[in-house]
A and B are shown apart, each in its own frame.
Chain A
Amino acid sequence: MSSAMTGQWQEAMALDDLWEGEMEGVEIGGKKVLLVNVDGEIRAYENRCPHQAWALDEGDFDGREITCVRHMWVFDALEGHGVNPDNCRLSGFPCRVSEDGMILVDVG
């Protein structure tokens, strides 16, 4: 994760609403955030493509990789690094799932 943790956890959505293999764009504390469920692991990224800032939730997630719809850059959903091209990465936010099943994100 590229962002430092500030310990300010905010509720993003219920884990039940984000199935494995799904991604969803949400707004948290004024920030556009992309939530992805990769085989049960949740990740939160800035919902902007590092190429030209297109919203990533308009693209495609095949369970493993996220493809930006604008110029088809591809990212590894679990690690956030670029697959094609491989010299970029998504910027991530710390995230976790609370005991009552809420996805919590720290947007700093």
Chain B
Amino acid sequence: MSGQRCVLVGGGVAAASAASHLRGRGFDGEILLVGEEPDPPYERPPLSKGFLAGSTDFGELHARQPGWYAEQEIELRLGVRAESIDPVARSVTLSSGELLAYDALVLATGLRPRSLPGFDGERVHYLRTAADARRLHAELARSQRLVVLGAGFVGCEVAATAAGLGKQVTVFEPAGTPLERALGSAIGAVLTEIHREHGVEVRAGEYVSSLVHTGDGLLLTTNLGHRVECDLVLVSVGSEPNVELAAQAGLATGNGILVDEYGRTTAPGVYAIGDVAAQYHPVYRGRIRVEHHDNAVRQGANVAATLTDADEGHADTYWFWSDQYEHSLQAAGRPHDLSALVIRGSLEERSFSAFSLVGDRIRGVISLNRPADVLAVRRLLFEPHQVSAEQLRDESVPLKRLVPRTRGAAARV
């Protein structure tokens, strides 16, 4: 692709990673990064943690130092939306009216929080961008009572941060326990306990059905008919991939923009990466859309490999973390059945790894405060290995030992 023009749409870490790996692999054509937000790509994870708490400055969140783009000859078009794509003419129209021709177009448009109809107004917050986080931070400073709707990762992390700031926090989760969908009910229950110990009220199996703005706050009514007053509401009830641009151009979309293991969409020269991409995974044999940081960065690197003619599909293990209070939660792989996890360590002591096994192979692991286990398992996942539930439960069997000695030489399965 020498001498050609690559346009990246979406100014998140996936786009930044693609740009950086393109240059790293010697791509010497033009690179343009079009992002709707005013800032160059930044890290979102701290938005619900250090940045919201006020302990991390925005300057620490830059994915690359601002001067880096000029050094690398990567042109930034910020505060501008890509409005439409013409996949035949190979061009993108921007909200500024400009028409950009491309040889390769990489869509990295990410997600937006799912909105709840009727839940809006000054005291109602969503959290995805630095602007959202600044607004929430400012209003938290003036408020005492926060209600969080939805106990997914963002909801739980904001609850933890707000509790740490001394706020009175109530979390509503329609499911049986927080994070049940991602982690299963046993681990969800451990996290519920942790939140409760930090003074957060967790109301599982209950949701807020209506909201009324009063003179100085909000009055919420739940499905069980309970009324709750508060100053602020965070709505964190899931998210929707930003697929519209792709869909309008006739690219195949479903739960995300559909891509193969090379990151290719159904239109020639158009790729999709990061939170918005539903990528075919040769090991799991299906399309998977992942809403986590490491995946976005890796898919950025992968698409750069594809664009610079590396002839390999990509099969990443999935890995993510969520820091809540002093606890470090990490997971790798795709658990198969969350109700049949094998526990190493102790749920009560909050130091455990929960393994998902299919036959004698590990499919995934979720760990609380045992990050070294996740590191070992991540190395192991796509390597041939054999392990029993007994071995995993037995802490005297080091996980590292399960890795075959001839690492790399073995075929992937």
Q: Are A72 and B375 in contact (CB under 8 A)?
A: yes
Within 8 A of B (CB), among A29-66: 58-60
Chain B residues contacting A70 (CB-CB under 8 Å) are 321, 328, 371
Q: Is B372 an interface residue (CB 8 A)?
A: yes
B328 — nearest CB in chain A belongs to which residue?
A: A70
Count: A-B pairs, CB below 8 Å: 29
Q: Are A59 and B64 in contact (CB under 8 A)?
A: no
Q: Is B210 an interface residue (CB 8 A)?
A: no
Chain B residues contacting A84 (CB-CB under 8 Å) are 297
**Chain B min CB distance to A25 (Å):** 14
A67 — nearest CB in chain B belongs to which residue?
A: B375
**Chain A min CB distance to B305 (Å):** 14
Q: Are A86 and B20 in contact (CB under 8 A)?
A: yes
Chain A interface mostly helix, strand, loop or mixed? Answer: loop
Could you give, for residues 64-77 of chain A, a 1 whenever the CB lies within 8 Å of some chain B CB and a 0 otherwise? 00010111100000
**Chain A min CB distance to B376 (Å):** 8
Q: Is B398 an interface residue (CB 8 A)?
A: no
Q: Are B375 and A69 in contact (CB under 8 A)?
A: yes
Within 8 A of A (CB), among B361-400: 371-372, 374-376, 378
| Complex Cα spacing A87 to B68, Å | 9
| Complex Cα spacing A26 to B321, Å | 27
Within 8 A of A (CB), among B305-336: 319, 321, 328
Q: Are A58 and B297 in contact (CB under 8 A)?
A: no
Q: Are B64 and A72 in contact (CB under 8 A)?
A: no
A60 — nearest CB in chain B belongs to which residue?
A: B375
**Chain B min CB distance to A51 (Å):** 10
Chain A residues contacting B321 (CB-CB under 8 Å) are 70-71
A71 — nearest CB in chain B belongs to which residue?
A: B321
Q: Are B20 and A72 in contact (CB under 8 A)?
A: no
B321 — nearest CB in chain A belongs to which residue?
A: A71
Chain B residues contacting A59 (CB-CB under 8 Å) are 372, 375
Q: Are A87 and B65 in contact (CB under 8 A)?
A: yes
Q: Are B372 and A87 in contact (CB under 8 A)?
A: no
B65 — nearest CB in chain A belongs to which residue?
A: A87
Contact of A72 (CB < 8 Å), options: B24, B65, B68, B319: B319
Q: Is B201 an interface residue (CB 8 A)?
A: no
Chain A residues contacting B376 (CB-CB under 8 Å) are 60
Chain A residues contacting B68 (CB-CB under 8 Å) are 87
Could you give, for residues 5-24 of chain B, a 1 whenever the CB lies within 8 Å of some chain A CB and a 0 otherwise? 00000000000000010001
Within 8 A of B (CB), among A63-99: 67, 69-72, 84-87
B332 — nearest CB in chain A belongs to which residue?
A: A72
Q: Are B294 and A72 in contact (CB under 8 A)?
A: yes
**Chain B min CB distance to A90 (Å):** 17
Chain B residues contacting A72 (CB-CB under 8 Å) are 294, 319, 375, 378
Chain B residues contacting A58 (CB-CB under 8 Å) are 371-372
| Complex Cα spacing A71 to B43, Å | 13
Could you give, for residues 38-73 of chain B, a 1 whenever the CB lies within 8 Å of some chain A CB and a 0 otherwise? 000000000000000000000000011100100000
Q: Are A87 and B64 in contact (CB under 8 A)?
A: yes
Q: Are B371 and A69 in contact (CB under 8 A)?
A: yes
**Chain A min CB distance to B61 (Å):** 12
Could you give, for residues 283-301 of chain B, a 1 whenever the CB lies within 8 Å of some chain A CB and a 0 otherwise? 0000000000010010000
B372 — nearest CB in chain A belongs to which residue?
A: A69
| Complex Cα spacing A67 to B376, Å | 11
**Chain B min CB distance to A52 (Å):** 8
| Complex Cα spacing A84 to B316, Å | 15
Chain A residues contacting B372 (CB-CB under 8 Å) are 58-60, 69
Partner-B contacts on A (CB < 8 A):
58-60, 67, 69-72, 84-87
Cross-chain pairs A/B with CB under 8 angstroms, 22 sampled: A58-B371, A58-B372, A59-B372, A59-B375, A60-B375, A60-B376, A67-B375, A69-B372, A69-B374, A69-B375, A70-B328, A70-B371, A71-B321, A72-B319, A72-B375, A72-B378, A84-B297, A85-B63, A85-B297, A87-B64, A87-B65, A87-B68
Give 7 nearest A-B pairs by CB, closest first: A69-B371, A60-B375, A69-B372, A69-B375, A87-B64, A71-B321, A70-B371
12 new A-B contacts, CB < 8 A, other than A69-B374, A84-B297, A87-B68, are A58-B371, A58-B372, A59-B375, A60-B372, A60-B376, A67-B375, A69-B375, A70-B371, A72-B319, A72-B375, A72-B378, A85-B297
